[in-house]
Amino acid sequence: MKVWIKLLIGAVLGVSFGFISSFDNQTVVSALAWLEEFAIRIGRYCLVPILVFSLTIAVYELRHEGQFWILVFKTLLIIVLSSIFVISAGILVTVLFPPARIPILIEEQVDVISLNTAQNFLEIFPSNMFAAVVSDGVYLLPVSVFAFFLGMGLSYDRNFSKPVIGLVDALSRIFYHIAAFFSEVLGLVMIILSAYWAVRFKDILRADVFRELIRHLAFLSAVLGFGILPLFLYLLRPKTNPWAVVYGSLSQALTGFFSGDINFTLPVLFRHVKENLGVRRRSNAVTVPLFAAFGRAGSAMVATVAFIVIINSYSSLGISISDIFVIASRALLISFLLGSRPGDGAYIALAVLCMGYGRGFEAGYLILRPLAFYLIATGTFLDVMISSVAAFVISRWSGFQEDKEMKNFI
């Protein structure tokens, strides 16, 4: 059975269970929340070993071929361009077709939320190099930097490093197959994630407050993920079948949406980009982590749309052109700084936008706190789809992609 079918069956079962069952007991809801955390940890379990060994060997191979910095430059360029486009598209559609206002809810306590950018920069270079690998694995940029330097070190004298190169290559393949086993059983995990998602979504629908915003974000996400991205692929040269790429990305789209967690989705993304889209490891291992660290355009776009809705709900004066540019610029910057927030990117981005904008909107994000899980889900879905398509495009441009027949997709 195809992996995406297993995931879809698990999602359908979980959503059905969540909608049909009645969970008015807070103890049961707390139990579901615990199960969700347990499920997320299962998905993240093999991520750091895959990232360390695959990125290390990829850096070594690309440096040997003289293509490492070219690939990094292409990836960063696509990250910037895609972020500008996605955020601008979200703002334009929301300004032209604004959702209905949301009733203002009075919240007494404002959480102190920050991206902790200065601290995150310090964590990139811990006092002990090995500390990056033995950390909890939530913030992956220090792990990636460790793998980068290890890959660089393997290049200094291949006569001495050859045994280590063989060991790293073997460990990369071993942990890849371990992660493949976990991805095969994620259908069961998906039941937990989608059931808890459905329970929260059912409560939101009962409130009947956020329906327009929910529809608006669903429309934007669907059009961008299944319309605009295939259109870009259709225009790509050499010509490719855009629907094959979308079909090959369904598994990561499902896991990204229901988990709302980039780190949970990355092992699935690594496997499906390689085995469905034909992206070779040396490109896959560089491009995907860079997007996970800096390419969070989907989460930033969702936060920007929600922020505009909050402003329209608070004020009848509307938003000026200058304010739109300020909001877009801040959202773009935030999209590059969400690497340390793999599981709540969109909501954290919204909170940072509100606090940075000021003018009495500092606590505005609190009115969307009940909807936070949905913002995170749609943002992560877009992040994953953009990353998957970008990994395919960059590898195709760089000569690191082999065409696969759809019947052989996993």
Q: What tens digit of pLDDT does each residue of 356-398 get?
A: 887 777 888 888 999 999 999 999 999 999 999 999 999 999 9
Q: What tens digit of pLDDT does each residue of 193-223 get?
A: 999 999 999 989 887 889 999 999 999 999 9
Residues 6+ apart with CB under 8 A from 351: 111, 113, 365
In a 3-state reduction of DSSP, which class is residue 3?
A: helix
- pTM, two decimal places: 0.93
Which residue in this structure is represented by tokens 């999209």?
335
pLDDT band at 314 (very low <50, low <70, confident <90, very high): confident
pLDDT at 105: 64
Q: What tens digit of pLDDT does each residue of 245-285 get?
A: 999 999 999 999 999 999 999 999 999 999 999 999 999 99
pLDDT at 90: 95
- For residue 168, pLDDT over 90 is answered with yes
- Cis peptide preceding 103, ω within 30 of 0: no
Dihedral of the alpha carbons of 335, 341, 343, 344, in degrees to the nearest 10: -70
- At 160, which amino acid appears? F
The second-level CATH assignment, the architecture, of 3-408 is Orthogonal Bundle (1.10)
Angle between helices 141-153 and 117-124 (to 10 degrees): 30
CA angle 301, 304, 308 (to 5 degrees): 145
Query: What is the domain partition of the chain in residue ranges?
Result: 3-408
